[in-house]
Amino acid sequence: KPVDLVSLCTILIDQFKQVYDRPIILHKNSESVFIEGDELKLKQVIIIFLDNAIKYSTDVIEVFLESNQHKGIIQIKDYGIGIPEEDQPHVFERFYRVDKARKRDSGGSGLGLAIAKNIVSLHKGEIHIQSKEHVGTEIKVIFSLRN
């Protein structure tokens, strides 16, 4: 089924803003970004990324939605504690969590990103992570658009 990432993100961002009282800005280059997929699962992916951005940063969170002829791209960017370079290759593994000591009491099981990766691959998408300690983290998911 076609799922519109713009309306999905708009609804979720509104809910997160209300619950956590944090600024979250949506930037988009088009009014809709339809991809073929499972709405509930895609919703879960966005929740996992927003939830991490909330947990591991205190500043504004930015979400970028972009589409061109071939791809739908969603980026979630925070300006938080970041992920050390040596941990970055592992954060998508089940139960992997970066050094507990450096974290606030944020809970978490280390499953979020593993689940997100799984769902994205089910949709034949790619996840890229870019992060720098004490600077922030950017997660980018690229989906092929239905044709």
Q: Rule CB under 6 A: which residues touch ligand ATP?
A: 48, 52-53, 56, 78, 80-83, 91, 96-98, 108-114, 137
- Smallest Cα–Cα separation from 44: which of 115, 125, 143, 138? 115
Angstrom distance (rounded) from CA 12 to CA 16? 6
Smallest gap from residue 24 Cβ to ligand ATP (A): 13
Give the nearer residue to ligand ATP in terms of CB position, either 72 or 112: 112
3-state secondary structure (DSSP) of residue 13: helix
Pairing of β 136-144 and β 126-132: antiparallel
Smallest gap from residue 146 Cβ to ligand ATP (A): 28
Give the nearer residue to ligand ATP in terms of CB position, either 4 or 84: 84
- Smallest Cα–Cα separation from 30: which of 71, 62, 1, 60? 71
Give the nearer residue to ligand ATP in terms of CB position, either 34 or 83: 83
Beta-bridge partner residues of 63: 26, 76
Give the nearer residue to ligand ATP in terms of CB position, either 33 or 113: 113
Whether the Cβ atoms of residue 42 and residue 50 lie closer than 8 Å to each other: no
Smallest gap from residue 60 Cβ to ligand ATP (A): 13
Whether the Cβ atoms of residue 106 and residue 56 lie closer than 8 Å to each other: yes
Smallest gap from residue 18 Cβ to ligand ATP (A): 20
